[in-house]
Amino acid sequence: MIEYELKTTVGNIFAEFEDKPFAAASIEQVHNATLITGEKVVVKVQRPNIHKVIETDISILRFIAILMVRHIPEASVFNPEGIVDEFAKTVTKELDFIGETRNAQRFRKNFADSKIVYIPLVYTDLVTEKIMVMERIEGVKIDDIKAIDALGIDRPKLAKDGLDIYFKMIFEDGFFHADPHPGNMFVFPDGRLGLMDFGMAGRLTPEMMESIANTFLAFFNKDFDRLIDEYIDLGLLRDG
């Protein structure tokens, strides 16, 4: 797959390439490698024919959603067809590593001056729709408490930094990392956070950013009528 996509041999690109992936998911698997220029990288390789597999899965989900609405009227309040449509949009974006590269570049620009988070470099000349080569982050997973303590990291500060990072994404940039599970968040020995995997990113309009801010204020002020109004404005609840 790498050689077909990049039109050259693996040996012409990498001095070292680990055949065994260190991570594998439904869409791609990820390998450690070293470029011939010496930089340590990770290589995301999309699974062959995954587009067809996902198209079939989405068709099955759509059929199930239709059956749910038809035979379980109570399910309509959860809008199962809308959920499938939203999932289809998201997973389709994840199949395009060029789009993920653009997301990574935007995050890297947004946090260029940050002292609390690091966004890895993407080697854009080694990116196609199905292959992505990115700078390797050396750190411990954010849920590895023992390793974090062994580094002497101040965990309350780390938690606050994580919150500050997301507050900047949501309230300043209107562009946020939408897949923040432990496999995508690392802690450096100096206490900085590192983010990985930018296939899922969310965008917020100024109106949505204001609504989310008002939601926080209503929650902290225990103004629950206002909170419900904001939930309706955000589309989390219907008027009824």
Q: Active site residue: 179, 223, 229, 233, which one?
A: 179
Between residues 235 and 6, which one has the greater pLDDT? 6
Is the pLDDT confidence value at 78 over 90?
no
How many CB atoms lie under 10 A from the CB of residue 98?
A: 12
* Whole-angstrom distance, CA of residue 165 vs CA of residue 53: 35
Mean pLDDT of 24-36: 93
Rounded to two decimals, the pTM is 0.84
User: What DSSP string describes 57-73?
Assistant: HHHHHHHHHHHHHHH-G
Which helix (H) or strand (E) segment is 14 a member of? strand 14-17
200-211 tens-digit pLDDT: 899 999 999 999
pLDDT at position 46 = 95
Cα–Cα distances in angstroms (integers) from residue 4 to residues 13, 39, 48, 227, in the given order:
13, 22, 12, 53
140-181 tens-digit pLDDT: 999 999 999 999 999 999 999 999 999 999 999 999 999 999
Is the pLDDT confidence value at 75 over 90?
no
81-123 tens-digit pLDDT: 999 999 998 888 888 999 999 999 999 999 999 999 999 999 9
Cα–Cα distances in angstroms (integers) from residue 177 to residues 21, 53, 57, 119, 121, in the given order:
24, 26, 25, 11, 16
Is the pLDDT confidence value at 238 over 80?
no
Burial level of 154, CB count in 10 A (0-12/13-18/19+)? exposed
Mean pLDDT over the full length of the chain:
93
179 is catalytic: yes
For residue 13, name the pLDDT band (cuts at 50, 70, 90): very high
